[in-house]
Amino acid sequence: MGDAGVGSAAPGDLPMSDVDLRKASTVKVARYRSGRLWFMATVLVAALVATPVLALIWQALRGSSGLWPHLLAYVLPQAFQQTTALLVGVGVLVTLLGTSTAWLVTAYDFPGRRFLEWALLLPLAVPTYIIAYVYLDLLHPIGLVQGALRVALGFTSPHEFRLPDIRSMGGCIVLLGFVLYPYVYLTTRAMFLTQAANLVEVSRTLGSGKGGVFWRVALPLARPAIAVGVSLALMEALNDIGASEFLGVKTLTVSVYTTWVTRSDLPGAAQIALAMLSLVVALVTTERWARRRQRYWSSAQKARSFTPHRLGTVSGLLVFALGLLPVFIGFIAPASYLVVEAWKRVRFAGLSPRLLLETLNTVTLSAMATLAILLFGMIIAYTARSLPGRVTAALQRISTVGYAMPGTVVAIGILLPVAALDQMIDRAALAWLGAPTGLLLIGSGAALGYAYVARFLAIAVGSVEAGFSRIPRSFDHAARSLGHNVTATFRQIHLPLSKPSLVAAGLLVFVDCMKELPATLLLRPLNFETLATHLYGEAARGTYEEASIAALAIVLVGTLPVAILARVGRWKA
Amino acid sequence: MKSLSTLRLALVGGVFALAGGASAMAAELNIYTTRESGLIQPLLDAFTASSGVKVNTVFMKDGLAERVASEGESSPADILMTVDVGNLADLAEKGLTQPVVSDVLKAAVPENLRDPANNWFALSMRARVLYAAKDLDLAAFNYEDLSDPKWKGKVCIRSGQHPYNTALFADYIAHNGAEATEAWLAAVKGNLARKAGGGDRDVAKDILGGICQIGIANSYYVGLMRSGKGGEEQVAWGDAIKVVLPTFKDGGTQVNVSGAAVAKHAPNKGEAVKLLEYLVSDDAQKLYAKANFEYPVKAGAPIDPIIASFGALKVDPVPMTEIVKHRKQASELAEKVGFDN
């Protein structure tokens, strides 16, 4: 890439000092006034996401450091060990499941491949807290599986025979792994489809075997995609509180929680949360640093999908069964369980009219938040591309930091500044207009939308960035040299060319907003229920059958976008 | 940028549409509650029917105090409702409540079950009881017995950091001192059949599943399970156990409360006090017992037959304020012995 005006894709590669950047950007702004707009918008979005973190830092500073000796002695060693075990376990599992299934449906042709292509995404629709609850019930000594096993083996009571308890680290890793692998599947498959074709075929021509193609070409090529997918999955695992509560795994997130809730020590909780955040940022930075010397360029030719290898009947069926396994564990089994439980309840008590309104609330709120997140995601990713440099890279990192924090912590970080702003507006309105506005931002649900933005912007930025990275930079240069400014280039080149990844990002974000629980619980207005809060309420009350109706509704509403997502995946092909 | 500006328009429009719905106020009352609204809805409906006051609720879990505090003077909250005496005391300590002078409340709620400065009032009680396998020969039980080595591998309990357990451990400190409590917690931890975790109902389920023989849990869950309100399956869980009301060696059964307070900046204070007074009326207390299987706070109010079948409740005499005081230490001791690990 010899174009000095636009610079390199990797910020580490052509280091620019701030002075350089200022000089460079002066030149740019003179040439492209619209570039400045993009930059300002990026600063604003980054500030929006940084605000809750700053609020937490402020909270943390208000506390004493008095709890650290106790934490260091009794809590953190254990929590750290559990967190590490969970992340390593889930990381390995999602990498294995996600990469292998993505390769199977891309490189091989077998009966049922088209079905698996999209079905492999279905577990995305199942929130971690639901999968944990369902399997806890199914695999309990008095549950369906062990009950059937006892009958088959001739035992009459769980006192005589029972399997090991699923409430363990191993159980938690497996359950989380089977609902989180689609993040890796999604990103990796897109990479296999669009990037690998030429190289795979070249390596086939040069005599590589099937294994060689996978290990030596496809896998290294897919590494950035795998890294993105795995880090999304790991953040979800790290911030999970529902599943670990059910399964008895005590991560650092649980420590944050205990400190805040049980001991009413918000500053202390903020301190732990920030320490955790620094750790995550360090890990992500290390991963990026480790592949700093690697470059991935796409050719300007239209990406082709490569011809899958046709399998025989027996091996085809075997591969199909193999690919179906994660779908079965992550979606079919829990969804069927929910259908049965929900049916029991509906037969007994009918369908609550609340459900329709709650579904509407859920869809409306999630859709609005998704649109905002997508817009912000495009701003960030496009600014990083068209005005590369340390500053934009830093802004991009900041804008994605919310995903690395537990939802409850983000929610508290948002509550503090937003409520303060609300009070200011209220007072100002009373003073100038003579009428109070009440809590405009919290009362309207805007605070909740903000929480979703802060929490899930990372997903949009990541996906959009991945989409942009498939557009050769020569396109940008051509458009610019033909006299288009930054905005026009975006509209004419990037927006149309990255549509599939925009849609994919939107759907992924939508499903995540819909499943979100802790921030929704804390920040929603009076009399406003979503499916997730309804589900939580029923579970808190212990009316699990009623809860299963809400859970099923979440899974169903989530399945729709996942199915669309799968179609989008096909356009890419 | 046509599509983008449409996007923005839709967003702004949507936000204002939502705001319109939330701002109108007549004779209304706003409740922030950590009790699931389904639990208290029958009571609120009855109140609305008799008073004509519309009640709005938002149910949340953690962060109720933070939300009210940060909303400050603009907060629409009139009543704060929560479970666990520690949470109630927290609200008062953080200055989020206001004292209520009401002879009705004073007469109905025993002194031990309300804030000395009248900032909060308990509305119902629940006991921390022992669930035991049906076939166990066990008529009486002391909390102290939980550490007996004869229960090794036979005890189930939820997280040691759950407020219900924290209050129990705090009460233990009040009776036996911190050192004895630490030793007791370590020994109980050694007796656990599985990791501390899950919910109180899981204790019954796990006893039925043969994982453990005894466990500590709240009294009302037995009513919820046996009555069939939680679904047919739970009836079996409830029937798998018998309930013993344990006591401290030198005291009674540990109880916790659900309660409410009037928010400091309540816009509708008059209605708020009216609702509190309604909640301790004979009718409402009866509903509490019937709908949620809790012990009424008002003397003479009837107890649900399922709960009454456990025997007469002898409430531990340690004052609630004392339990609140030991809460932090109780939580730290549980961490120190690795209760949840």
B15 to chain A, any CB pair closer than 8 A? The answer is yes
What domains are there in chain A, each with its CATH number? Answer: 33-61+353-529 (1.10.3720.10), 63-291+310-350 (1.10.3720.10)
Output the average pLDDT for chain A.
83
Query: Does residue B273 have a pLDDT over 50?
Result: yes
Interface test with A, best of B25, B70, B194, B224 (most A CBs within 10 A): B70
**Residue A2 has what pLDDT?**
32
A408 to chain B, any CB pair closer than 8 A? The answer is yes
Distance, in Å, from the CA atom of A318 to the CA atom of B197, rounded to the nearest integer, reads: 40
Cβ-Cβ contacts under 8 Å, B23 against chain A = 437-438, 443
Interchain proximity B76–A438, CB inside 8 Å: yes
Cβ-Cβ contacts under 8 Å, B66 against chain A = 266, 412, 415-416, 522
Percent of chain B, pLDDT > 70? 92
Query: Does residue A9 have a pLDDT over 50?
Result: no
Architecture of domain B126-254+312-336: 3-Layer(aba) Sandwich (3.40)
pLDDT (mean) for B30-47: 88
CB atoms near residue B137 (< 10 Å): 5
B220 is annotated as contributing to ligand binding = yes
Nearest to A408 among B62, B234, B327 (CB): B62
**Residue B250 has what pLDDT?**
94
Nearest to A415 among B67, B163, B221 (CB): B67
Residue A76 tokens, joined:
């953190």
Nearest to A422 among B74, B210, B233 (CB): B74
Q: Which of residues 506-565 of A touch B (CB under 8 A)?
A: 518, 521-528, 533, 536-538, 540-546
Percent of chain A, pLDDT > 90? 28
**Residue A231 has what pLDDT?**
87
If one compares A478 and B165, the residue with the highest pLDDT of the two is B165
Query: Does residue B10 have a pLDDT over 70?
Result: no
Query: Does residue A12 have a pLDDT over 50?
Result: no
Surface-to-core class of residue A156, CB atoms within 10 Å of its CB (0-12 exposed, 13-18 middle, 19+ buried)? exposed
Task: For residue range A476-518, list pLDDT tens digits in order.
Answer: 888 888 888 888 888 888 888 888 788 888 888 999 999 898 8
Interface test with B, best of A142, A344, A430, A486 (most B CBs within 10 A): A142
Phi-psi region of A92 (alpha: psi -120 to 50; beta: other; left: phi over 0): alpha
Query: Does residue A437 have a pLDDT over 90?
Result: no
Q: Is the pTM of this model over 0.90?
A: no
For chain B, which residues make up each domain, given as ranges?
2-125+256-303, 126-254+312-336
Three-state SS for A93?
Answer: helix
Domains B2-125+256-303 and B126-254+312-336 share a fold: yes
Percent of chain B, pLDDT > 90? 74
Q: B212: part of which helix (H) or strand (E)?
A: none
Interchain proximity A165–B71, CB inside 8 Å: no
Strand B121-133 relative to strand B214-218, pairing: antiparallel
Point out the least confidently predicted range of A305-309, A557-561, B187-191. Answer: A305-309
Nearest CA to B335 among B229, B186, B215? B186
pLDDT (mean) for B35-54: 88
CA distance A573 to chain B (A): 26
Distance, in Å, from the CA atom of B204 to the CA atom of B234, rounded to the nearest integer, reads: 9
CA distance B252 to chain A (A): 24
Residue B29 tokens, joined:
């009352």
Nearest to A543 among B22, B56, B230 (CB): B230
Nearest to B22 among A419, A426, A443 (CB): A443
pLDDT category, A567, cuts 50, 70, 90? Answer: confident
Point out the least confidently predicted range of A21-30, A153-162, A207-216. Answer: A21-30
Instruction: For domain B2-125+256-303, give the CATH superfamily.
Output: Periplasmic binding protein-like II (3.40.190.10)
Query: Does residue A21 have a pLDDT over 80?
Result: no
Point out the least confidently predicted range of A248-252, B20-24, B177-181, B225-229. Answer: B20-24
Query: Does residue A118 have a pLDDT over 90?
Result: no
Task: For residue range A248-303, list pLDDT tens digits in order.
Answer: 888 888 888 888 888 888 898 899 889 888 888 888 788 777 766 666 655 545 55
Half-sphere exposure of A2 (CA within 13 A, CB side): 0
Most confident of A74-83, A193-202, A367-376: A367-376
Q: A412: part of which helix (H) or strand (E)?
A: helix A407-432
Interchain proximity B38–A142, CB inside 8 Å: no
Interface test with B, best of A255, A264, A366 (most B CBs within 10 A): A264
